Structure 1
Amino acid sequence: MPSAHTEVQVRPGTEGDLDVLTEIYNHYVRETTITFDTAVLTTEERRPWLLSHPEDGPYRLMVATAADSQEILGYATSSPYRTKPAYRTSVETTVYVAPDSGRRGVGTLLYGALFEALAGEDLHRAYAGIAQPNEASRRLHACFGFRHVGTHREVGRKFGRYWDVAWYEKDLRRAPRG
């Protein structure tokens, strides 16, 4: 397990990361309401997701690794907000940190790298849905300028109960409209 002082590097995700990224994601499927998937996924089921995040463009996958061991500590993505063409300048962002890597600033480093990578893209807004309660995620998003825009009440059912999802948005424009 990395220490709190482990140097962390952030880089684009690659196909070689897929097994570990799937393990991290499946932890959240099994143990939490952070994702509303209810069944674990195989690496092959996750492959299309990974391939939909190239090294350039608006849909990115950034991976944090421990500098000394290259152990994957987490990942962040930007994905299509919705599939209809008019939504193409909006993305949905998310962060998943390995269970033993929380509270070390990994999520902050990942989001910083993700938003830096997206800075040159033709994007207008980023959105994040946060299953409630999740104070750590709310704080992370607030640090990056996301603001609460509404809550879908009891929108997902997992572990035998209904959960709310709070929605946050962030302006990605580099300059005000003229």
Structure 2
Amino acid sequence: MHPVIRPAAPGDADAIARIYNHYVADTCVTFETEEVFAAEMAQRITDTLEMPLPWLVAEADGAIAGYAYAAKWKGRCAYRYSVETTVYLDPMCTGRGLGLPLYAALIDAVKTLGMRAAIGGIALPNAPSITLHERLGFRKVGHFEQVGFKQDRWIDVGYWQRLL
């Protein structure tokens, strides 16, 4: 499957929130615990694009099948060339080869902006996300034990980094 990858717009917020809220409610891959409504998601998209950092969507079969975006790694000025990268797929679209081209497009977009480092945080265990990051040249650089508590359990977080 060859997705159409394009910049996100606030009008994509309903579909993006639907995808994200699955991960909020049913998984530990995000540490958010409350549903994110479309208006809040539209504001997040707008804020990201105004930084300016990329927020991309992948369309497959005429619908948004996933999204990826970059955020500032930290607020201090010296970190300005580092971003945290994130990718989410509609749970009905995983395993179809959409994540790799979407995440690769995000990496290309942050390189174009002159970023030096991309950092991906992964709630562990999560073999598919680790595989995706490592296929794109990320390497594990850190592991924090039991830093999140969700779904009645403690969760480790690993960090993968790719120098651009």
Q: Do structure 1's residue 101 and structure 2's residue 93 form an aligned pair? A: yes
What is the aligned counterpart of 1:145 among 134, 137, 144?
A: 137
The residue that corresponds to 1:176 in the other structure is none
The residue that corresponds to 1:18 in the other structure is 13
Q: 1:47-99, CA deviations, whole angstroms, 9 ceiling, x for partnerless residues?
A: 32111222884x21110001xx4200000111111112111100000110001
8 Å CA contact 2:15–2:64 kept in 1: the answer is: yes
8 Å CA contact 1:29–1:40 kept in 2: the answer is: yes
Question: How far apart are residue 144 of structure 1 and its match?
Answer: 0.8
Q: 1:87-131, CA deviations, whole angstroms, 9 ceiling, x for partnerless residues?
A: 110000011000100001111010111122222212111101100
- What is the distance in 2 between the residues matched to 1:97 and 1:80? 21
8 Å CA contact 1:55–1:61 kept in 2: the answer is: no
Bigger proportion of residues as helix: 2
Query: SS at 1:10's partner residue?
Result: strand
Question: How far apart are residue 41 of structure 1 and its match?
Answer: 1.3
Query: SS at 1:52's partner residue?
Result: helix
Letter in 2 for 1:46: M
Question: How far apart are residue 42 of structure 1 and its match?
Answer: 1.2
Q: How many residues in Structure 1 have an aligned counterpart in Structure 2?
A: 164
Q: Do structure 1's residue 120 and structure 2's residue 112 form an aligned pair? A: yes
Letter in 2 for 1:64: A
What is the aligned counterpart of 2:57 among 60, 63, 84?
A: 63
The residue that corresponds to 2:23 in the other structure is 28
Query: SS at 2:48's partner residue?
Result: coil
Q: Do structure 1's residue 92 and structure 2's residue 87 form an aligned pair? A: no
* Structure 2: gaps of 5 or more residues: none
8 Å CA contact 2:2–2:98 kept in 1: the answer is: no
TM-score normalized by the length of structure 2: 0.95
8 Å CA contact 1:12–1:55 kept in 2: the answer is: no
Structure number with greater Rg is 1
The residue that corresponds to 2:103 in the other structure is 111
Identity %: 39
* Structure 1: gaps of 5 or more residues: 1-5, 173-178
The residue that corresponds to 1:80 in the other structure is 72
